[in-house]
Amino acid sequence: MPSKTATREKRASSRAEYSSPAVDKAVDVIEFLASQGESVSITSIAEGIDRSVGEIYRIVLALEHRRLISRDSSTDRLRLSLRLFELAHEFPPVERLIQVARAEMDTLVRKARQSCHLAVAEETEIVVVAARESPLPMRYSVRVGSSFDMFETSSGVVIAAFGPERQREDRLRQVPPEKRAALEARFESVRACGYEIRESETVDGLSNISVPVQSRVGGILGALTVPYLRQTKATMEPPDVLTLQLTAAERMRDGLG
């Protein structure tokens, strides 16, 4: 791995070759935030890319205005938003990678005869970015693009449980104090088991089976969730559906990198 000095020299050399310093600063900020597992302060960004706060202040505001980065209103810390993720979906090579997830979800719903969806985090919410419906006439499914409070869903709890500790703490600060202990206990249980099976808090008679979708280096990408609806034509029991989900998540990891 290049040393910090070598990286700075390379960056300085690159700056000298091009006449677009604002673009360079914006890319530096985006690349630095992409390398972080949690939200960071503007001072940390400046230090991380070897610039002053004054040099990047307007750049950060511009990126925030264009929704490329988002700010935690309670801590003023910054992180990449899902805007790059949205743009990536329009880029053919990345769309090919997303097809890996869709193919695995197709296999899952065909075998389990249950619907499933893939969710990612956006601040203290989750956003459903892909979904597949059960082939059965009676089914429960979640619409792509739907967003929910993170801690009202098993998807959100699983994402938070496997996310960076500081990010999890920042999110917990926005939860009423009387609910934090129960959430922390759920996080511990999810990390210990590697998944969550829990009765839905919003739909009676439904159980959520949720597993993490992680990168090759262990970073949390999202959660694959089956809203399990018990009915006579869906004969697979929750533990067997869970096994299918864990396999699908592993294959997504391998395909999405």
| Mean pLDDT, rounded, for 221-247 | 92
pLDDT at 111 over 80: yes
* Domain 4-81 in this protein, CATH class: mainly alpha
Q: What is the pLDDT of residue 146?
A: 86
pLDDT at 148 over 80: yes
Helix (H, G, I), strand (E, B) or coil at 221: strand
Q: What percent of the chain has pLDDT over 90?
A: 45
> What does the mean pLDDT of the chain come to?
85
Burial class of residue 251 (count of CB atoms within 10 Å of its CB; 0-12, 13-18, 19+): middle
- Over residues 33-50, the pLDDT tens digits come to 988 878 899 999 999 999
pTM: 0.66
The span from the CA of 249 to the CA of 257, in Å, is 12
The span from the CA of 257 to the CA of 253, in Å, is 6
pLDDT at 16 over 80: no
| Mean pLDDT, rounded, for 205-228 | 89
Q: What is the pLDDT of residue 115?
A: 94
User: For residues 213 and 246, is the Cβ–Cβ distance under 8 A?
Assistant: no
CA angle at residue 248 from 245 to 252, to 5 degrees?
135
- Over residues 112-129, the pLDDT tens digits come to 999 999 988 877 888 888
Domain borders along the chain are 4-81, 85-256
Percent helix, strand and coil across the chain, each to the nearest 5 = 50, 20, 30
Fold of 85-256: Beta-Lactamase (3.30.450)
